[in-house]
Amino acid sequence: MRRPWASEPSPARGRLWLGLVAVLALALLTWALNQGGGFSGGGRAGQGDPVTLPSVALTDLPPEAASTVDLIRAGGPFPYDRDGIVFENREGLLPDERSGYYHEYTVPTPGASDRGARRIIVGSGGELYWTGDHYRSFERIPP
């Protein structure tokens, strides 16, 4: 007597199950990487704490950072078209604020053929943050 529920799956059905397992594994991996750690420093939105965020004096940063801050305070002109765009804080490493609160500015990297990884992030309240590794970590620049 044949029992259909005990039979081997057809090849098409087997591929369907394999695809489903692959999608679930990818979803699980994505979730796990976003729980902290991950490839971009991890964290969840709003975990940035200005009190515990490391700080660095502007004078301790590359000289191009001070030049960029001077341009920001003067209102430009900026050397890159994308300077001044909204920084969304997707990494969640800065204090949680509404969209549009933060703006980013390029800190030129000598010898780089593109914008490089260095940025100054400015909050609407005037606070300044430095990232030298393209948003993987931040340091607060005290006033």
> How would DSSP label each residue in 21-66?
HHHHHHHHHHHHHTTS-SSS----TT---TTTS-B--GGGS-HHHH
Q: Is 117 in contact with 109 (CB distance < 8 Å)?
A: yes
- Catalytic positions, written as ranges: 104, 134
